[in-house]
Amino acid sequence: MTQTAAIIGGGVIGGGWAARFLLMGWDVRVFDPDPDATRKIHEVLDNARRSLPGISDVALPDEGRLSFHDTMTEAVEGAVWIQESVPERLELKRRVYQTIQEHCDPSAVIASSTSGFKPSQLQGCATRPAQILVAHPFNPVYLLPLVELVPSDQTPPAHVERSKDILTGIGMYPLHVRAEIDAHIADRFLEAVWREALWLIKDGIATTEEIDNAIRYGFGLRWAQMGLFETYRIAGGEAGMRHFIEQFGPCLEWPWTKLMDVPTLTDDLIDKIAGQSDAQSGQYTIRQLERARDNNLVTILRGLKGQDYGAGALLNAHDARLQGDIRLPDDLSKPIVTIDRVVPLDWTDYNGHMNEAKYLQAFGDATDRLMWLVGCDADYIASGSSFFTAETHIRHLDEVHAGTRIRVETQVLQGTGKKLHVFHRMFADTRELATGEHFLLHVNLETRKACDPDDRVAVPMARVAAAHADLPRPEGAGAAVGIR
């Protein structure tokens, strides 16, 4: 059954929440009195649709239904999750909660995107304070998985656990902040870096671009996959964290930073920062900057997925939840769908369509899925046997671009003994894009020689081959490169 989320406030953060829920299969109801709210949210959705599906290696759920409403009363009707993303004014937020609680389901989660207020402050005038907590995300909400989940001492543990389950279900990482604190956890780090950056600009030491370069070409890359303490543990060498602290701890007493002091944001300093920022990025529109950001994030996140590390491990786990159990379909009278996914942004080339190497990756992934389905899984391979590809032939029939949902249907042409002969057909809906024909041999991993599989693989593989023997031989099977 499709669940419903209500988004109260459709700015950058509210729009990101709407995109995250919508693309994860939820119906989304939006309230925002801004006359441009519909346009703004649709622009955020355009960015999300081209980027979020591409960080999954399986298809996302069917997109939910998006609706815009004239009142909060309408928007919260039937909502399981209500996300408040209105401006950071405490009295405004409290008035919003009073209206929401008059009309929402008492069991619904009411979550605030606030970056600074504590939940106990938000609950001040609430009818049901236990219903309200903080769920503070990071921009863009539809790509970055972190959300700081902050309850108060009035929040029941069951309400917190339910909130965690919902956030995990839409591919996010709920960081449970167990004690209320101003600005939660992550924003306190950002505030420290921001303060120091303001001093460096005010004192004429660095420009906005030089500060950004120091982050994105240096420690920002380390932080993206290991965070702070794991990075510093490595800096301690073989002696580890203790040695790092002993070596660099005394530096904390040196006058390196001005973290306990804040420069006054005079008109001159504001003009200086704004002018440098214009010189750095003023040639780009906000939409161009957002797309560059999303392209870069998708590339980094997909790289981390390949290593199953940091945010990549989180995304792989979410893929596994979306995919469910991997098993042979009950109906083997037709080709098996082995791939159902979206072409990610980093699979395209200078011609604007999918790179030919990625066709091989897609078909290779399809072969791997078939191997898994017939029993050649991680446990089987660990026991000493696997399949090696001996020959491959790919035909490129039509173009495919980033964001296209592709489906690979696999037919087993031979699957007895040590030989596995498969034919893959790639589609976008009914349009055939490419075919891949692969011949594999079953191999003993110790001797590296071909051998027959044992019954764990031989029996299901023969069952599929027998069922597919009645299918028409696919066009192009057995073909070589030909010039017309």
CATH number at residue 88: 3.40.50.720
* Average pLDDT score over residue span 19-24: 98
164, 183, 202: which is the final residue of a domain? Answer: 183
The two structure tokens encoding residue 27: 């119906």
3-state secondary structure of 177: coil
How far is it, in rounded angstroms, from Cα 143 to Cα 50? 11
Task: Please choose, from the candidates 58, 59, 56, 48, the residue with its C-alpha nearest in 3D space to the C-alpha of residue 18.
Answer: 48
The two structure tokens encoding residue 318: 């979410």
Position 377 in a domain: yes
Q: Are residues 168 and 261 in the same domain?
A: no
Q: Are residues 441 and 355 in the same domain?
A: yes
* Average pLDDT score over residue span 58-76: 96
Number of Cβ atoms within 10 Å of the Cβ of 154: 16
pLDDT of residue 349: 87
Residues in binding site: 9-14
Locate all alpha helices (DSSP H) within 218-285, ordered by sequence.
220-226, 229-235, 240-248, 267-281
Placement of tokens 């109906």 in the chain: 331
Q: What is the mean pLDDT of the chain?
A: 92
- The DSSP H or E segment spanning 304 is helix 286-307
Do 442 and 452 meet the contact criterion of CB atoms below 8 Å apart? yes
How far is it, in rounded angstroms, from Cα 373 to Cα 160? 37
Q: Are residues 454 and 390 in the same domain?
A: yes
pLDDT of residue 52: 95
Q: Are residues 172 and 193 in the same domain?
A: no
| Higher-pLDDT residue of 27, 260 | 27
- Asked if residue 425 has pLDDT above 70, the reply is yes
pLDDT of residue 238: 85
Task: Please choose, from the candidates 448, 171, 197, the residue with its C-alpha nearest in 3D space to the C-alpha of residue 316.
Answer: 171
pLDDT of residue 128: 95
Position 308 in a domain: no
Confidence band, pLDDT 50/70/90 cuts, at residue 484: low
How far is it, in rounded angstroms, from Cα 110 to Cα 100? 9
Q: Is 292 left (phi over 0), alpha (psi -120 to 50) or beta?
A: alpha
Residues in binding site for NAD(+): 9-14
Looking at the structure of the chain, the number of domains it has is 3
Confidence band, pLDDT 50/70/90 cuts, at residue 242: confident
Tell me, rounded to whole angstroms, the distance of Cα 164 from its chain centroid: 17
Q: Are residues 86 and 145 in the same domain?
A: yes
Q: Could you tell me the maximum CA-CA distance found in the chain, to the nearest angstrom?
A: 79
Q: Are residues 242 and 178 in the same domain?
A: no
pLDDT of residue 482: 66
The two structure tokens encoding residue 358: 């990625």
283, 310, 343: which is the final residue of a domain? Answer: 283
The two structure tokens encoding residue 448: 């590296």
Do 374 and 464 meet the contact criterion of CB atoms below 8 Å apart? yes
Task: Please choose, from the candidates 273, 377, 256, the residue with its C-alpha nearest in 3D space to the C-alpha of residue 327.
Answer: 377
Q: Are residues 130 and 271 in the same domain?
A: no
Sign of CA dihedral 250, 253, 254, 257: positive
The two structure tokens encoding residue 79: 């909502």
CA dihedral (192, 194, 195, 201) in degrees, to 10, reads: 150
* Average pLDDT score over residue span 206-220: 93
Please tell me the least confidently modeled range out of 85-94, 153-162, 315-324.
315-324
pLDDT of residue 274: 86
Q: Are residues 11 and 128 in the same domain?
A: yes
Residue-wise pLDDT for 164-190, tens only, equals 999 999 999 999 999 999 989 999 889
Number of Cβ atoms within 10 Å of the Cβ of 67: 12
- The CATH number assigned to the domain holding 219 equals 1.10.1040.10
Q: Which domain covers residue 226, as residue numbers?
A: 187-283
Confidence band, pLDDT 50/70/90 cuts, at residue 237: confident
pLDDT of residue 260: 72
Confidence band, pLDDT 50/70/90 cuts, at residue 287: confident
Q: Is 313 left (phi over 0), alpha (psi -120 to 50) or beta?
A: alpha
Share of the chain above pLDDT 90, in %: 74
Strands (E), 381-472: 385-396, 405-414, 419-428, 431-444, 449-450
Do 180 and 118 meet the contact criterion of CB atoms below 8 Å apart? yes
pLDDT of residue 307: 92
* DSSP single-letter state for residue 239: G
Sign of CA dihedral 124, 126, 128, 134: negative
How far is it, in rounded angstroms, from Cα 30 to Cα 243? 52
Residue-wise pLDDT for 133-176, tens only, equals 999 999 999 999 999 999 999 999 999 999 999 999 999 999 99
Do 344 and 54 meet the contact criterion of CB atoms below 8 Å apart? yes
283, 316, 342: which is the final residue of a domain? Answer: 283
* DSSP single-letter state for residue 348: B
The pTM is what? 0.86
How far is it, in rounded angstroms, from Cα 287 to Cα 140? 13
Position 145 in a domain: yes
The two structure tokens encoding residue 214: 């120091």
Beta bridge mates, 443: 386, 450
Q: Are residues 353 and 260 in the same domain?
A: no
* DSSP single-letter state for residue 172: -
Confidence band, pLDDT 50/70/90 cuts, at residue 453: very high
Position 260 in a domain: yes
Confidence band, pLDDT 50/70/90 cuts, at residue 21: very high
pLDDT of residue 254: 73
Strands 173-176 and 146-150: parallel
Position 295 in a domain: no
- Asked if residue 444 has pLDDT above 90, the reply is yes
* Average pLDDT score over residue span 322-348: 91
Q: Are residues 244 and 129 in the same domain?
A: no
How far is it, in rounded angstroms, from Cα 345 to Cα 83? 29
Placement of tokens 């346009």 in the chain: 39
Position 198 in a domain: yes
* Average pLDDT score over residue span 307-318: 92
Number of Cβ atoms within 10 Å of the Cβ of 454: 13
Q: Are residues 205 and 111 in the same domain?
A: no
Position 291 in a domain: no
Position 319 in a domain: no
Residue-wise pLDDT for 361-417, tens only, equals 999 999 999 999 999 999 999 999 999 999 999 999 999 999 999 999 999 999 999
Residue-wise pLDDT for 338-364, tens only, equals 999 999 988 988 888 999 999 999 999
Do 313 and 302 meet the contact criterion of CB atoms below 8 Å apart? no
Q: Are residues 409 and 448 in the same domain?
A: yes
